Amino acid sequence: MIQLKIASLLIFTVLAGGCCSNVSKENENAGIIGNQGQQNPASIKENISIVTGVIEEIYLKTEIDYILKLKINKADESAGYPSIAVSGSSYLLAPNFRIDDGSMIDNDVNNGLKMLSKFKKGDKVKLEISFAYPQGWIIQKFLGTE
């Protein structure tokens, strides 16, 4: 009788130990497989370009509602930001006015963007632009004339 109890206890221990160890191995493997090939996500950088170009057209509704068609003569990267604007290409650009609580902020950036609406075809300008989906190309700052 004692031998039967020892044999039963031994069989139960082997089965229980094998069952539990398989479950923990499966969980370990699932974690490894689930994380395979993953790395820390890359940081997202804004794609700011400093460009100089010639205004080909300006589609003006008001001084704060316009689109500028600009042929880029030169595209530079600003410190730490990659440029995706290409020299020799034409882009449609919309101003990015700074707004707070539904009203436009009175600052140098917005004043420069308003001033840009008064330029004409053929004028040479220097701008800070970026691309945003789905808005498209955006004028971040008016930097002056060339």
Q: Same domain for 66 and 100?
A: yes
Q: Are residues 92 and 134 in the same domain?
A: yes
Per-residue pLDDT band at 63 (split at 50, 70, 90): very high
For position 36, what pLDDT does the model report? Answer: 52
Q: Note whether 105 and 98 are within 8 A (CB).
A: yes
Which tens digit of pLDDT belongs to each residue from 4-30? 555 555 565 555 555 554 544 555 544
Q: Are residues 127 and 105 in the same domain?
A: yes
Report the CATH number that the domain containing residue 89 is assigned in CATH: 2.40.50.140
44, exposed or middle or buried, with CB in 10 Å at 0-12, 13-18, 19+? exposed
Question: Mean pLDDT throughout 46-61?
Answer: 92
Are 19 and 54 within one domain?
A: no
pLDDT at residue 138, as a whole number: 96
pLDDT at 16: 56
- Specify the number of domains making up the chain: 2
Query: Is residue 43, in this structure, part of any structural domain at all?
Result: no
Q: Determine, yes or no, domain membership for 11.
A: yes
The verdict on 75 and 126 lying in the same domain is yes
Q: 17 lies in a domain? A: yes
Say if residue 32 is in the same domain as residue 58. no
The answer, yes or no, to whether residue 32 has pLDDT greater than 60, is no
Shared-domain flag, residues 26 and 60? no
Model pLDDT for residues 78-122, shown as the tens digit of each residue: 667 667 899 999 999 999 999 999 899 999 999 999 999 999 999
What's the domain range around 60? 49-145
Residues 123 and 59 in one domain: yes
Question: Residue ranges of the alpha helices (H) in the chain?
Answer: 2-35, 108-116
